[in-house]
């Protein structure tokens, strides 16, 4: 499943693709756009007061959140190395995710590309997936606030995944299980939302959430093998306490 992606960095593309109005002082994140579990990245969601009637409250907000959803019972940030993806088959039952799913706390994870391992050659070939039109992709996610042992609040998130055993491309990703038949490998892919569904996803009640869990067409994605990419370990949790209030990425 997706443990490495590149966060979208273009202000113009954010505003055009997602229809979000960014503050004048907003600047794209500096340094590498590569994101791994427990690292901070931008997510898009509805503000808490979006239905207050206050015209000063924007329709959408971008907040800085940790990749790897942290439920209230998590004791440390590195718990997120196990919860960066949520399987749609079990998201409503697992303790780590069920409250965020039921709320529902929906978000969109804006990405320029994400990586999956291609095993068709019998070995791991990191492969970069992006949109054929070079626009950012919006991945369906769920988020949750988490209070650290130091008393600081931080937003956290997970990407939703679905079965891809019959997908034209993603059925070839990840190491095959020799003990399972081809049609029951339980290959996975993240849920990429069509642009027309962005606002519907953010507003959907929990009862309608599963309707968005669909495979994204292979012909809308560009897959580029990157065999020379350095193999990076899962990012270690940052020891510094997160900011007391969310900051725009």
pLDDT, tens only, 206-242:
999 999 999 999 999 999 998 654 444 433 333 333 3
Q: Which region among 54-63, 109-118, 211-220 has the lowest average model confidence (pLDDT)? A: 54-63
Band the pLDDT of 50: cuts 50, 70, 90.
low
- Could you tell me the maximum CA-CA distance found in the chain, to the nearest angstrom? 58
Distances (CA, A) of 119 to 127, 129, 167: 10, 15, 15
Q: Are 20 and 14 a contacting pair, CB within 8 Å?
A: yes
Rounded (5°) CA angle 189-122-118:
25
Tokens of 132: 């054929």
Phi first, then psi, for residue 22 (nearest 5°) are -90, 145
pLDDT in tens, 147-200: 999 999 999 999 999 999 999 999 989 877 777 776 666 889 999 999 999 999
Q: 86 with 80: CB under 8 angstroms?
A: no
- Identify which of 67, 88, 92 has the alpha carbon closest to the alpha carbon of residue 155: 67
User: Are the C-beta atoms of 10 and 27 separated by less than 8 Å?
Assistant: no
pLDDT given for residue 1 in this prediction:
66
């Amino acid at each position: 499943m997706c443990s490495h992606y590149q966060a979208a960095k273009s202000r113009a593309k954010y505003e055009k693709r997602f229809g979000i109005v960014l503050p004048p002082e907003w600047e794209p994140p500096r340094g590498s756009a590569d994101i791994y579990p427990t690292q901070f990245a931008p997510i898009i969601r509805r503000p808490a007061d979006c239905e207050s009637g206050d015209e000063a409250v924007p329709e959408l907000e971008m907040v800085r959140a940790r990749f790897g959803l942290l439920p209230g019972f998590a004791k440390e940030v590195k718990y997120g190395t196990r919860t960066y993806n949520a399987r749609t088959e079990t998201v409503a039952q697992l303790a780590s995710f069920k409250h965020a799913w039921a709320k529902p706390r929906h978000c969109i994870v804006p990405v320029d590309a994400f990586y999956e391992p291609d095993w068709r050659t019998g070995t791991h070939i990191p492969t970069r997936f992006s949109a054929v039109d070079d626009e950012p992709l919006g991945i369906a996610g769920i988020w949750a606030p988490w209070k650290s042992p130091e008393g600081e609040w931080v937003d956290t998130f997970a990407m939703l995944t679905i079965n891809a055993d019959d997908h034209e491309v993603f059925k070839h990703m990840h190491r095959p299980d020799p003990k399972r038949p081809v049609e029951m490998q339980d290959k996975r892919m993240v849920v990429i939302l069509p642009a027309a569904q962005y606002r519907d996803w953010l507003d959907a009640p929990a009862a309608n959430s599963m309707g968005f869990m669909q495979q994204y067409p292979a012909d809308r994605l560009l897959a580029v093998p990157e065999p020379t990419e350095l193999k990076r370990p899962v990012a270690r949790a940052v020891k510094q306490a997160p900011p007391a209030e969310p900051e725009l990425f």
